[in-house]
Structure 1
Amino acid sequence: MPISPNQGSTGGGTLVTITGTNLSGTTAVKFGTKPATSFTNVSPTQVTAVSPSGTGTVGLTVTTPGGTSNPISFFYVGAPFKSSLSATSGPLVGGNTITVNGVGLSTATSVSFGGVPATPTVVSDTQLSVTVPAGVTAGSVGVSVTTAGGTNNGFTYTYIDVPTVATVVPSSGPTSGGTAVTITGTRLDTTDSVTFDGVVAPFSVVNSTTLSAVTPPGTAGAVDVVVTNPAGSATATGAFTYVAGPGI
């Protein structure tokens, strides 16, 4: 007499399908000593039942006018607990893989990012690997993990969109570098790097629309300014011009 699934939440509420013979006229389904919350005699070979609350491993039995079946093991599983995410932000387009750490994760079937589900790979009872789905809009969303034991919430993940660059002021300076410039645009508060002609420049975030940077040494001429965040890069083509100093 197989049952499916053979495990469920300690809080109860799992719909279990019981397959066997001579199940007509079922009068009771028990999970250990507790009766099912409800049951339905689907056919002479099938009964469905909703598990009550419980813990550990219990024997599921079916009673008909002909007697009571032998017990089949049903396993109660506690709700999962998440302790950390390996990354709490990433690109709006998704596609990056992160790790979920916690306990009770071995039966995980779904990880939801703001209501968008993703199917995890179970590494162990304490770790999941999951590819982040695309987000709807930039910003923070709740992350939940669903297992046979229930659903756990509590973490947030931030979707980040690609930055834009509008202005670089001043737009020129000496090839020796050292020019303090202000870069304006959008989504600049998650900036990872700023480069002038591919050379990394020191920078600081003022707010989501403004960066301060100092030009590194460069070669005379117009160069590209590139601002990068976890979602991608924005290139301001020829936005800064290095000017050679006078020679005698």
Structure 2
Amino acid sequence: MPIDPDQGSTGGGAAVTLTGTGLQNASEVRFGTKPAIITANTATSVSVVAPSGAGVVAATVTTPGGTSNPVAFYYVPPPVILDVSPTSGPLAGGATITVTGRGLATVTSVAFGATAVTPTVVSDSQLTVVSPAHATGQVALVVTALGGSDTASGTFGFVAAPTVTGFSPLTGLPAGGTLVDITGTGLSTTTGVTFGGVPATFAVLSGTRVAAVAPTHALDAVTIALTTTGGSATAPGVFIYLLG
């Protein structure tokens, strides 16, 4: 006797259909020791709402003619989100977000606020999803699996692209080590700073300031570029590497 689906949440509530023959006038459907709510019944099928449970249980149908053979029904625990990285992305969407946790193997959707996206399941403990386009602001991130749903402990932020308005000082030594103060807007989610394409060590001071240490570079005039989870921006003017 087939059962579809053969899995459901430990909290119950799954709509399940058992098919076979001689099922008319079913008086009871049990999942293990617990009765299910019968919602529809014909001679070849019984539709029910699965009760709560755990593990693997035997589902049976009882009619005036007797009780059917048992079929296995698997209870799946709800997913648990342990981490989301990164926790923000650009307004245009397109950021690849990694979600880690437990019970993620059967996740069918990840919702960013009211917008649901289909994820790529990597394993039971990890999935990736591409963020959708969204207006500026913070939204709840919710994963939905066969076993239920879970909401991330923090919100996911959609942030505008940064702007860089200036930096100081304008020069430094080829050996590197000059501390450069970079100013602009939308800098709080900065993930990288480069001087002429060379990555620099940096620290985010605020949404309008980032401190970076100029890396080693040949004598040259280079541009300073800054990347955030919202996008990238290039500072006006050039930083000049020269001998002291």
TM-score by length of 2: 0.77
d(CA) in 2 for partners of 1:76, 1:180:
58
CA offsets 1:116-171 (integer angstroms, 9 cap, x no match): 3333444444x23222322524554433332322222243344444311223456x
Q: Gaps (5+ residues) in structure 2? A: none
What's the counterpart of residue 31 of structure 1?
31
Superposed CA RMSD: 3.3
What's the counterpart of residue 147 of structure 1?
145
What's the counterpart of residue 206 of structure 1?
205
- CA gap of 1:214–1:100, structure 2 versus 1, over 3 A, is closer
What's the counterpart of residue 188 of structure 2?
189
Q: CA deviation at 1:13?
A: 0.8
d(CA) in 2 for partners of 1:195, 1:20:
67
d(CA) in 1 for partners of 2:123, 2:239:
54
- CA gap of 1:49–1:189, structure 2 versus 1, over 3 A, is same
Task: Indicate whether 1:55 and 2:54 are aligned.
Answer: yes
d(CA) in 2 for partners of 1:123, 1:174:
45
Q: CA deviation at 1:196?
A: 3.8
What's the counterpart of residue 67 of structure 1?
66
With 89-98 and 43-52 compared, the bigger mean Cα shift is at 89-98
Partner amino acid for 2:206? N
- CA gap of 1:151–1:245, structure 2 versus 1, over 3 A, is closer
- CA gap of 1:134–1:169, structure 2 versus 1, over 3 A, is same
Q: CA deviation at 1:201?
A: 4.9
Partner amino acid for 1:20? G
With 146-155 and 15-24 compared, the bigger mean Cα shift is at 146-155
Paired residue secondary structure (1:16): strand
d(CA) in 2 for partners of 1:80, 1:199:
41
Q: CA deviation at 1:90?
A: 4.8
Equivalent residues in 2 for 1:1-248 (5 A)? Answer: 1-41=1-41, 43-85=42-84, 87-92=85-90, 93-102=93-102, 104-125=103-124, 127-156=125-154, 157-168=156-167, 172-173=170-171, 182-201=181-200, 203-213=202-212, 219=219, 223-237=222-236, 239-240=237-238, 242=240
- CA gap of 1:71–1:227, structure 2 versus 1, over 3 A, is same
d(CA) in 2 for partners of 1:188, 1:36:
55
Partner amino acid for 2:108? T
Q: CA deviation at 1:49?
A: 0.3
Paired residue secondary structure (1:106): coil
Partner amino acid for 1:111? V
Paired residue secondary structure (2:140): strand
Partner amino acid for 1:72? V
Paired residue secondary structure (2:48): strand
CA offsets 1:93-127 (integer angstroms, 9 cap, x no match): 2342525232x3333333333343333444444x2
Q: CA deviation at 1:88?
A: 3.3
Paired residue secondary structure (1:192): strand
Q: CA deviation at 1:60?
A: 1.6
Question: Contact (CA 8 Å) 2:172, 2:214: kept in 1 or not?
Answer: no
Partner amino acid for 1:6? D
Q: CA deviation at 1:234?
A: 0.6
d(CA) in 2 for partners of 1:236, 1:75:
57
Identity within the alignment, %: 44
